[in-house]
């Protein structure tokens, strides 16, 4: 198997064994934990003998911490987990030999359920948490055994080599993400909640690091990065690889938090395999169970779920907003309960450094945080807070149909409290939504039909071009620079490309005699619309999604500059 799609197809073929005894929506309960288990077993197998010998000779007085340290050292350089069970997830013939103390789980078909439980119990606590607490795989062992499937499924997994020498961490990430996408598609769930296309991550990482290239190339530099909705850890991995390519002596310490137990388990297993501190990945809701409440970081990356309501945690968030104000995380404002995207942004900004070094974040949103909310609404106040405090550095409009679960247009926001001198008091808007910034995929993946070229396989390096537009910080056809003056008021308008006439909402300060409450005016745009951002008296267009309703709710009189007809 030469590419990750072949490996995915092989692993997915286990579903053929499960069909009939398991529903399609349940396949992931078996296949995902066994894929992680096989990966862990492949990593540990070369030093399995050494670990078993060390376990036999441990001092009787060794405490748990000392025991873990000695066994991790026996498992290999940089290892942070181990397994002391005599069993391995290998074909029977490969587990034979006088020099080996271990035996295959397949060697005794009648006792395979008990032996598998023994094998899982032999893992160190950090690996057991993944398999038992989060995947809850113990519940599947008896079910598979009673269906006479356990032996067949395990034998299938012994046929694929998932050692890092055969499948590196980036490719393994692709495998997990494609499996999740297929499971989500089969069960009609949302794959986009779990991961982000890698070319989008790479672009975000470029935008995040490009202005710090000089500092990041210094020998032995150490930086920290945090993702409050880290999913399977894709953003963390791509950022690590980028910095390693830029400077092999640099260290990027990654942190994250994830609410979905299966995504958390995959992310944590990836950290274990890379020999990193897996305790940096926290489980739970970042808003109500902040796992890193006192930490501050150099960089932030995130793709929070689009348009997910926060009603379940509304009381906690509202209480923090009311009681702590700007001393808490959500003092700038609360968005409507139907979309918590701007809560993630405020949560990340609350963890900015204020020690002179500052921080920078890149976050990907749909159009809602950009244009939703009337004057004085929570969304409007949050945007005003960002601009008045000179934290909004840039917004990059991306092509549509980039994501697996949605075809809508998306936007990368760059926010920082350490703008370079040339950028102070200014905001850059980049329109990278045109055809010159994406290529059509040969085969669609869900809603994903486009990708941003990375310069490989004959594709143009569109990631580099967008990065160049950002780095050069100049006015041009796709890049506009605006001043923050005028209190940072963000005003919205639309362009209907069919009649090609502009409808502007004039929500500037009006004479007192004209100020009155105006009902929300709803304009249905049949094709594609363009959001017009106005800071002071200037505007630029960023393309938004097609065929949807856009609401204007202005506290001052809203006088269109000209009216566009919308005939069917």
At 260-293, the pLDDT tens digits run 999 999 999 999 998 889 999 999 999 999 999 9
What is the spatial distance between Cα 278 and Cα 268, in angstroms, rounded to a whole number? 6
- How many other C-beta atoms lie within 10 A of the C-beta of residue 53? 11
Site of tokens 């994830």: 258
Token representation of residue 48 = 């399995």
pLDDT band at 409 (very low <50, low <70, confident <90, very high): confident
Exposure string of 358-393, with b = 16+ CB inside 10 Å and e = fewer, is ebbbbbbbbbbbbbbbbeebbbbbbbbbbbeebbbb
pLDDT band at 96 (very low <50, low <70, confident <90, very high): low
Token representation of residue 441 = 């995929």
Asked if 399 and 447 touch (Cβ cutoff 8 Å), the reply is no
What is the spatial distance between Cα 84 and Cα 91, in angstroms, rounded to a whole number? 19
275-279, 454-458, 534-538 — which is least confidently predicted?
534-538
Site of tokens 């679960």: 405
What is the spatial distance between Cα 400 and Cα 546, in angstroms, rounded to a whole number? 10
Asked if 155 and 94 touch (Cβ cutoff 8 Å), the reply is no
DSSP state for residue 310 in the 8-state scheme? -
Query: Is residue 521 classed exposed, middle or buried when 0-12, 13-18 and 19+ CB atoms within 10 A define those classes?
Result: middle
List pLDDT tens digits, range 363-407. 999 998 988 888 889 999 999 999 999 999 999 999 999 987 778
> Which of 192-196, 303-307, 312-316 is the most confident on average?
312-316
The model's pTM? 0.82
List pLDDT tens digits, range 132-155. 999 999 999 999 999 999 999 999
Site of tokens 């008990």: 114
Question: Can you list the alpha helix ranges (DSSP code H) found in 45-137?
Answer: 48-56, 64-75, 112-121, 125-128
pLDDT at 191: 44
What is the spatial distance between Cα 508 and Cα 415, in angstroms, rounded to a whole number? 25
Instruction: Of 370, 301, 339, 342, give the one whose Cα is nearest residue 543.
Output: 370
Average pLDDT over residues 14-42: 93
Q: What is the distance of C-alpha 96 from the center of its chain?
A: 42
- How many other C-beta atoms lie within 10 A of the C-beta of residue 460? 15
pLDDT at 198: 86
143-152, 190-199, 508-517 — which is least confidently predicted?
508-517
Query: Cα separations (Å) of 318 from 6, 180, 305, 325, 332?
Result: 48, 34, 20, 10, 12
- How many other C-beta atoms lie within 10 A of the C-beta of residue 458? 7
pLDDT at 443: 86
What is the spatial distance between Cα 172 and Cα 175, in angstroms, rounded to a whole number? 5
Asked if 170 and 202 touch (Cβ cutoff 8 Å), the reply is no
Residues in CB range of 11: below 8 A, 6 or more apart: 31, 35, 157, 160, 175, 179
List pLDDT tens digits, range 218-254. 999 999 999 999 998 989 999 999 999 999 999 999 9
Token representation of residue 458 = 């004959």
What secondary structure, in 3-state letters, does 156-173 show?
A: HHCCCCCCCCCCCHHHHH
List pLDDT tens digits, range 419-455. 999 999 999 999 999 999 999 998 887 788 999 999 9
Average pLDDT over residues 148-174: 92
Higher pLDDT pick, 62 / 218: 218
Query: Cα separations (Å) of 59 from 62, 64, 76, 82?
Result: 5, 11, 20, 18
Token representation of residue 26 = 């349940």
What is the spatial distance between Cα 265 and Cα 284, in angstroms, rounded to a whole number? 12
H-helix or E-strand spanning residue 237: helix 234-246
Beta bridge partners of 494: 503, 531
Q: What is the distance of C-alpha 228 from the center of its chain?
A: 9
pLDDT band at 548 (very low <50, low <70, confident <90, very high): very low
Asked if 490 and 384 touch (Cβ cutoff 8 Å), the reply is yes
pLDDT at 494: 34
Instruction: Of 191, 163, 181, give the one whose Cα is nearest residue 39.
Output: 163
CA atoms within 13 A on the CB side of 108: 10
pLDDT at 224: 97
What is the spatial distance between Cα 330 and Cα 67, in angstroms, rounded to a whole number? 44
Average pLDDT over residues 527-542: 37
CA atoms within 13 A on the CB side of 424: 4
Average pLDDT over residues 192-216: 86
Q: Measured over all CA atoms, what is the biggest interatomic distance in the chain, rounded to whole angstroms?
A: 95
What is the spatial distance between Cα 99 and Cα 209, in angstroms, rounded to a whole number? 49
């Amino acid at each position: 198997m030469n590419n990750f799609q072949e490996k995915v197809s092989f692993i997915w073929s286990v579903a053929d064994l499960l069909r009939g005894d398991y529903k399609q929506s349940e396949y992931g309960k078996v296949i995902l934990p066994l894929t992680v288990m096989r990966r862990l077993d492949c990593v540990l197998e070369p030093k399995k003998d050494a670990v078993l010998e060390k376990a036999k000779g441990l001092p009787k007085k060794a405490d748990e911490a000392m025991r873990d340290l000695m066994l991790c050292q026996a498992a290999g350089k940089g290892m942070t987990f181990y397994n002391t069970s005599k069993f391995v997830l290998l074909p029977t013939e490969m587990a034979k030999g006088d020099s080996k103390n271990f035996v295959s789980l397949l060697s005794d078909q009648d006792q395979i359920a008990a032996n598998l439980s023994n094998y899982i119990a032999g893992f160190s606590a950090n690996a057991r948490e993944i398999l038992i607490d989060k995947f809850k795989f113990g519940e599947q062992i008896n079910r598979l055994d009673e269906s006479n499937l356990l032996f067949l499924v395990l034998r299938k997994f012994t046929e694929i080599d998932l050692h890092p020498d055969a499948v590196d961490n980036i490719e393994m990430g692709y495998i997990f993400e494609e499996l999740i996408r297929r499971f989500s598609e089969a069960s009609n769930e949302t794959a986009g909640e779990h991961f982000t296309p890698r070319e989008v991550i790479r672009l975000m990482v470029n935008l995040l690091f490009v202005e710090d290239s000089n500092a990041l190339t210094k020998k032995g530099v150490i930086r920290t990065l945090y993702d409050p909705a880290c999913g399977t850890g894709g953003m963390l991995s791509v950022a690590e690889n980028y910095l390693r390519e830029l400077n092999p002596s640099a260290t990027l310490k990654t942190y994250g938090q994830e609410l979905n137990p299966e995504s958390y388990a995959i992310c944590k297993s990836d950290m274990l395999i890379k020999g990193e501190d897996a305790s940096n990945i926290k489980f739970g809701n970042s808003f109500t169970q902040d796992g890193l409440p006192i930490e501050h970081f150099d960089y932030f990356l995130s793709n929070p779920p689009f348009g997910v309501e926060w009603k379940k945690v509304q009381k906690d968030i509202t209480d923090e907003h009311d009681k702590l104000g700007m001393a808490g995380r959500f003092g700038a404002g609360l968005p409507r309960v139907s979309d918590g995207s701007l809560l993630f942004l405020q949560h990340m900004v609350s963890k900015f450094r204020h020690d002179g070094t500052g921080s920078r974040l890149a976050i990907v949103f749909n159009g809602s945080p950009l244009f939703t909310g009337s004057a004085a609404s929570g969304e409007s106040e949050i945007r005003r807070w960002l601009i008045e405090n000179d934290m909004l550095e840039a917004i990059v409009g991306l092509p549509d149909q980039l994501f697996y679960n949605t075809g809508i247009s998306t936007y990368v926001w760059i926010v920082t409290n350490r703008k370079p001198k040339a950028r102070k008091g200014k905001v850059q808007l980049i329109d990278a939504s045109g055809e010159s910034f994406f290529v059509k995929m040969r085969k669609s993946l869900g809603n994903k039909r486009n990708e941003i070229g990375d310069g490989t396989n004959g594709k143009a390096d569109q990631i580099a071009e967008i990065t160049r537009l950002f780095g050069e910080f100049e006015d041009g056809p796709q890049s506009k620079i605006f001043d923050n003056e005028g209190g940072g008021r963000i005003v919205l308008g639309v362009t209907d490309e069919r009649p090609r006439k502009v409808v502007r909402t004039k929500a500037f300060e009006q004479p007192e005699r004209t100020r009155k409450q105006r009902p929300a005016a709803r304009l249905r745009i049949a094709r594609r619309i363009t959001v017009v951002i106005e800071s002071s008296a200037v505007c630029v267009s960023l393309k938004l999604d097609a065929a949807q309703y856009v609401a204007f709710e202005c506290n001052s009189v809203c006088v269109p500059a000209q009216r566009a007809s919308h005939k069917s």
